[in-house]
A = this chain, B = another copy of it.
Amino acid sequence: MSERLQAQHLETVRALLSSGQLTRLSAYLAQLHPADVAEILTEVDSFRQRLALLRLLPDEVAGEVLSELEPDVAQPLMAHMSPERVADILEEIATDDAAEILEDLPNVVREELITLMEPEEAAEVRELLAYPEESAGRIMTQDVVRLRRRWTVEETLDYLRHLDKTAETIYYLYVVDDEDHLVGVVPLRALVTAPPEATIGQIMTPNVISVRVDDDQEDVAELVAKYNFLAVPVVDRDGRLVGIVTVDDVVDVLEEEATEDIQRLGGSEPLDMPYFATPAWAIVRKRIGWLLLLFVGGTLTGSVLRHFAYVSERFSALNVFVPLLIGTGGNAGSQTVATIIRALALGEVRPREAFRVMSREAITGLTIGVVLGTIAFGRAMLWQTGVAVALVVALSVPFITLWASLIGALIPLLAEYLGVDPAVISGPLIATLVDATGLAIYFGMASVMLL
């Protein structure tokens, strides 16, 4: 929905709220998509208005709205409703969405709510919450339609007509044997276009691609993306169908993983929560670990400078270029690491192609260094450092950018080879690694050329 339209909805809701026309408001909200209602709820002026809106919604819509809201908006609202109402609401939505809302709540509250839910729903939610975080089991829903091979197309269509509405998707229908083992799949479109008297066994596709309940959610997302699936079935250790992961959950996972990679690339631990929902002390905690490590690593630059004091004291003009040179090394390394990390994440580059990657980065780093070195020479001459110092600066730049590009490519490749997520390698880490060595290159060259 366009922002303009969204603003109009917000205005109308505000007007109806302040004039107390709750029946009209209720009818107005009913024609909106739950995702839009969630946006309006987040934007109204007071917590009291937000709560009033939520209370106006039927259970099913309220549940979908709650699952669209950020946890820091949803939690106070739930705390102000009766636990019975919240439990009723949670029963109405898909079990994976209910589990996602519940997992963010304090233990006591979560337990109370689950106990108040219908036993069957409660058991399903408990089952999901028992799987490890970021696993297929955590993002799947158990509401999946199971067909049998002997059913005819006509019987199946009739069965679908009388189905409980909560099945999250019926676009892929899975076929199981008597022990619930996954044996085939029938896309709804195949069912619709098949002759009514054919059996499921005749029209189903055997060899279903499935994921295991303990597979990592990122692998599940990549599989769904690779095969352009709308959903993928989830099986347990024995091949029994336990649930289904739908593409809308995969889209969420891809966004979440990209967020983690971007925050890590900046040199911070992932926040795991929306920005404003993360308390300031938590942001400090996520950032300070790497900063401390890099700070301690950074003191190496001091050691290098102290080691070369005999050069810099005789040629103090050299000091003027220190920040520029290590900045350039850091920038070149940061460019390379971002490119390589993303190429690794997308599978465009593999560790065994390291040699090919390093050769490309060597060429790139050297070419860039020659251009920048030439400019640096000009700048040094303008500062009247003398030709000797200007030459040291100009010749150091290509070596520094070459080195930075190689390190920026090598470290993530090494991480991937060792089975560590290369996304933990950040721009700042590479910059820090390159800082001290860049200085050593610069002053080493100066001591050879000037002394």
Contact of B287 with A335 in the complex, beta carbons under 8 Å:
yes
Contact of A328 with B298 in the complex, beta carbons under 8 Å:
yes
Does A263 have its Cβ within 8 Å of any Cβ on chain B? yes
Does A150 have its Cβ within 8 Å of any Cβ on chain B? no
Contact of B265 with A262 in the complex, beta carbons under 8 Å:
yes
Contact of A428 with B280 in the complex, beta carbons under 8 Å:
no
Does A299 have its Cβ within 8 Å of any Cβ on chain B? yes
Contact of B323 with A427 in the complex, beta carbons under 8 Å:
no
- Shortest CB-to-CB span from A360 to chain B, Å, is 5
- Shortest CB-to-CB span from A421 to chain B, Å, is 14
Say whether, besides A275-B348, A298-B324, A327-B294, A368 and B288 are in contact (CB < 8 Å): yes
CB-nearest residue of chain B relative to A162? B193
- Shortest CB-to-CB span from A334 to chain B, Å, is 5
Complex Cα–Cα for A332 and B284 (A):
11
CB-nearest residue of chain B relative to A260? B342
Contacts of A70 in B (CB 8 A): 348
CB 8 Å contact bits of A258-293 with B (1 = contact, 0 = none): 110111011110010011100011011001101110
Contact of A326 with B324 in the complex, beta carbons under 8 Å:
no
Does A230 have its Cβ within 8 Å of any Cβ on chain B? yes
CB 8 Å contact bits of A430-451 with B (1 = contact, 0 = none): 0110011001000000000000
Task: Pick the most buried of A189, A313, A324, A335: most chain B CB atoms within 10 A of its CB.
Answer: A335
What count of chain A residues pass the 8 Å CB interface test?
A: 115
Among A54-62, A75-83, A221-229, the stretch that binds chain B is A221-229
Contacts of A341 in B (CB 8 A): 262
Contact of A339 with B258 in the complex, beta carbons under 8 Å:
no
Say whether, besides A266-B427, A335-B268, A327 and B348 are in contact (CB < 8 Å): no
Contact of B291 with A332 in the complex, beta carbons under 8 Å:
yes
CB 8 Å contact bits of A229-265 with B (1 = contact, 0 = none): 1100000000000000001101110110011011101
Does A48 have its Cβ within 8 Å of any Cβ on chain B? no
Among A101-109, A175-183, A371-379, the stretch that binds chain B is A371-379
Contacts of A209 in B (CB 8 A): 1, 33
- Shortest CB-to-CB span from A144 to chain B, Å, is 14
CB 8 Å contact bits of A379-407 with B (1 = contact, 0 = none): 10001000000000000000000000000
CB-nearest residue of chain B relative to A360? B280
Does A95 have its Cβ within 8 Å of any Cβ on chain B? no
- Shortest CB-to-CB span from A297 to chain B, Å, is 9
Say whether, besides A192-B192, A334-B267, A323 and B326 are in contact (CB < 8 Å): yes
Does A12 have its Cβ within 8 Å of any Cβ on chain B? no
Say whether, besides A35-B227, A302-B383, A320-B305, A375 and B292 are in contact (CB < 8 Å): yes
Does A301 have its Cβ within 8 Å of any Cβ on chain B? yes
Q: Which of B229, B254, B265, B313 is the one whose CB lies under 8 Å from A254? A: B254
Task: Pick the most buried of A275, A305, A313, A432: most chain B CB atoms within 10 A of its CB.
Answer: A275
Does A188 have its Cβ within 8 Å of any Cβ on chain B? yes
Does A417 have its Cβ within 8 Å of any Cβ on chain B? no
Contact of B188 with A266 in the complex, beta carbons under 8 Å:
no
Does A25 have its Cβ within 8 Å of any Cβ on chain B? no
- Shortest CB-to-CB span from A388 to chain B, Å, is 17
Contact of A432 with B288 in the complex, beta carbons under 8 Å:
no
Contact of B301 with A324 in the complex, beta carbons under 8 Å:
yes
Does A166 have its Cβ within 8 Å of any Cβ on chain B? no
Task: Pick the most buried of A274, A327, A334: most chain B CB atoms within 10 A of its CB.
Answer: A327
Complex Cα–Cα for A1 and B227 (A):
10
Say whether, besides A226-B35, A274-B343, A326 and B328 are in contact (CB < 8 Å): no
Q: A160-B193, A290-B331 are in contact. List 15 more A-B contacts (CB 8 A).
A: A35-B227, A161-B192, A188-B192, A251-B254, A254-B254, A254-B255, A265-B266, A268-B338, A268-B339, A288-B371, A298-B328, A301-B327, A323-B323, A323-B326, A334-B428
A to B CB contacts below 8 Å, 25 in the list: A31-B207, A35-B228, A171-B188, A225-B252, A250-B251, A258-B261, A262-B265, A265-B338, A267-B427, A275-B339, A275-B340, A280-B363, A281-B367, A284-B367, A284-B368, A292-B371, A298-B327, A299-B324, A299-B379, A302-B324, A305-B320, A305-B323, A323-B435, A331-B432, A334-B426
